[in-house]
Structure 1
Amino acid sequence: MELEKASARLAPRTPWQATDLGTQFYRHWAGPITAVWLLFTAVPYALLLTLAAVGNSLWPLFVFWWLKPLWERPLLAFYSHALFGETLTLKALLKRWPSYALPGLAGQLTWRRLSPLRSFNACVWQLEQVKGDTASQRLKVLNSYPSNRGGMLTLLILHLEQFMTFGLMALLYMLVPWQFNLEFSDWFYEQSALQLAISGLCFYLVLCVTEPLYVACGFALYLNKRTWLEGWDLQLGLSRLGERRRAAKNIIATLLVLMLAAPFMEPAQAQTAASSTTTSEQQQVIELLASPDFMPLEEHTERQWINRDNSDSESWMEKLWEFLFDILDGDKVDTSSAPVNIPDALLWAIFWTLFVALALWLIVKVANQFGLRKHHSDKRPVIPTHVAGLDIRNRSLPKNLNRAVEEALKAGDTRAALAVLMRATLAGVLARYPVPLAAGSTEQQCLRTLQQQHGNPLPIDYLQRLTQAWISTAWAHRPVSDEQVRTLAQHWQQMDPLEADHG
């Protein structure tokens, strides 16, 4: 993506601000995006609606609803190109359909169909076109904290579809003349083919609005998440600063040329040129300092209670509070005329119970907010699959460790022999002594973490000797002798079977 061509300002936003940006996308391209929706869905929906009306069944309409991820693919393709200055025509969308509609579609129509994050995750499969473990890792990163509110967006659009559909149906039925004697139950039970067709048509008209809006908001959430993670705003800001510096260099070069040519120019002309150049340079500096990169403008809204003690009229809420406190006081209210005479002791007991409960709740919330409470977790650290580029998964380890080491030594590859032994040792030690490791941790970082959390038991002490031999061979290019490698392998086999058996 060429970020410089984006027609919208890519900046870190809250999820709801990003959703609002998506509504702006829809409003800006409402005409073309509606044409795209009609091109790909009008004929299929008309056939399915006809089949539903003839067979008096809702199953054809359910099929269209289930295929929503398929109908949303052209909409997302249009938005993703239009945002960066390329407005795809209907012919181009039809021609490119296999390239953007098929990646990840099988999963979206089966086990991922009911995912509330469909609008957000579809951007990963369609725009990035990743598969398998790469797609899973990518989705895990993009859906990490803080939440992108994709599930809440789906819930809102779902309710919006229902309310708009029922509202449009009610409007049409209210316009029907009374001599047809329609009842509310006829909308849902014992429907005729005409009534089913009208209901289906109302649903499709609503989809012409909600589906392009849903895709636009999901696309905006995806752009916002990538802006937060990849710093798109910083990249664009630095690019603009680079362009301004290049412009400043051109101005300086022009000034040098004018200074060299000044002796050959008339004094008045030289003074006029210098003043105009200085004014232009000052204006550029002022605009640069006033830009959002240097002086961001933030708006804050504060609400304050206005004292209305002197006002003649009081609201019903103020009167209610005055009445309650008068009851608690027991002085200003005539209890004989009250409809219910509640004892003062009971009222005070209820009041103090609620007050103490509220105070305790606030204390707990504050303690959680500042991390004063310790959250006990029984979850063991996840054993990593790779350490310092070494694959330590069980399925990647040889079934016979001694044979693999001997074959590498006979081939004269001491590094390969130590690598096999290092992988097996790391897998066994981490299985017995699990520790949290960051992605990309080195052998020494893994060893230090193990020593800090578990001390120096026999396996960790062995790992330290093996790590020294591995670093000397692999990184210092000073390979140890074959006898040292065999000795290390023999010592590992003599460890506890739980730690040495990796088959």
Structure 2
Amino acid sequence: MRIDQLDVVLRARSQWEAMELGTALVRRHARAIWVPWVLLTLPLFALLNGAGWWLDNYWLPALLMWWLKPAFERIPLYVISRGAFGAEPAPAATLRAQWHWGWRGLLPYLGWRRLSPARALLMPVDLLEGGDARQRRARRRVLGGAAYGHASLLTLVFWHFEAMLQLAGIALVFLFVPLDALPESLRIAVSLIGSDTPAWVWLGLNLLAWAALTLIGPFYSGAGFGLYLNRRTQLEAWDVEIAFRRLRQRLQGGAPLLALALLLLAGLLPPVPGRAQNAANPQTAADDNRKGATLRAPGDPTPAAIFGPAPVDTAGFRQAAARAYEDPQLGASHTLCHWERREPATARPPKDWDFPADGILRGIGDLLALLSRGALWIVVGALLLALLLTMRRWLPWLRGGGRLPRHGAATPVAHTALQLPEVLPPDILASARRLWQEGRPRHALALLYRASLDELSRRAGIVLPPGSTEAQCLRASRRMPEEADRRLFARMVRTWQYAAYAGRLPADADFQALLDDLQRHYGWPA
């Protein structure tokens, strides 16, 4: 790796600064990242949702798109790992590289490492460094040691970002709903969630999930790459190596001038007497070098005579040294606290009659641990056996084709019980009373509600559109001239809603009082 070609400033950063560096790299190479991301993920999204529509199972495409996130995260890793060295790839080159680049190191992240909380930090080790499995395992352990907690927190934060974006997309839809229709719209939206959810609702939710993934995924990979780059800088001192390389380049430019200055300085220095005598007698010089003599003759010059007097320790030098030691990167001090016993325990002399409690307690603890482990395995086996034995009951529900049992205490009410009658009988109150006595109270209330709608149209002078909701009917009832009629219609609507949607039927006395009020206000024959 040519670290001298890096296009970023390498220095010792905190883990949070390293994440910000990664997101800055993503912003710098935004076009080179998002163009291939959309061109790759959008056709796959359409293909998976088309298969889900054909299978009538729409949660499976969303699950597959979420599970394939590590494969998509190769795109930002490929771009910023080359863009950091000043070689940003084109979108077409990035797309071509996805067919062959990084698959060997990616397969574990689509399998047993898919739920790893430090995936953003550890994926660059397998995709960018290579090596055999043992070397990659050692590199993951070394790089992830001090940054594993930050990488896990990064995963948690970005997961919340994606979830909030999806909720914000759902809330954005309701911003365009009028305020008076908002309660009814919310009720309809809640009723759409369940076994009868329309296909367009599933497709909309899947599209929101894909949009959140497209917006957040590259930043997540970039922040992980920033952590990876910072850990390698800390462990391998890349910033120091780059500083030395730049110093070497500057010195290489001034090397001839430095050599000339040394030659001139050597010519100006006076000759050393002792060295001159050794040069005149080569045998003596050889004997001195061979023996390694360290004694100096009385006539030999001293270092002070050659280099001058020793420098004086000035106050400025001491202040500079103090400031150097105050630098947290050079002379940082740490305070470590630990608990100690106020009165240290003294070793008790052994006795012949002492009971060997330590060994027995340790054995009891090992036995309890073994029994607990065995009990847990038994519980797991029992759960698996129960799942296998009840597979016929829960497996159809997972496939979306489950049916209610034919027998049981709770018999589902047919949807026809909640349908309003199209043609009204001439004796409305008598027919409603007869339906109530026959044990069909919802039919009776549906008949009264249908007749109240006709009375509303006649007294308010309006025509209700087909399929009008209860909220629309209540707003239309404000045009009725008399306040008593408006209150009676609101009471009828409320009674019908409780029975149709909440299963709360009125008592016999309340039902009879409702019939009396309808006869008195609307003039229906008894």
Q: TM-score, normalised by structure 2?
A: 0.47
Structure showing greater Rg: 2
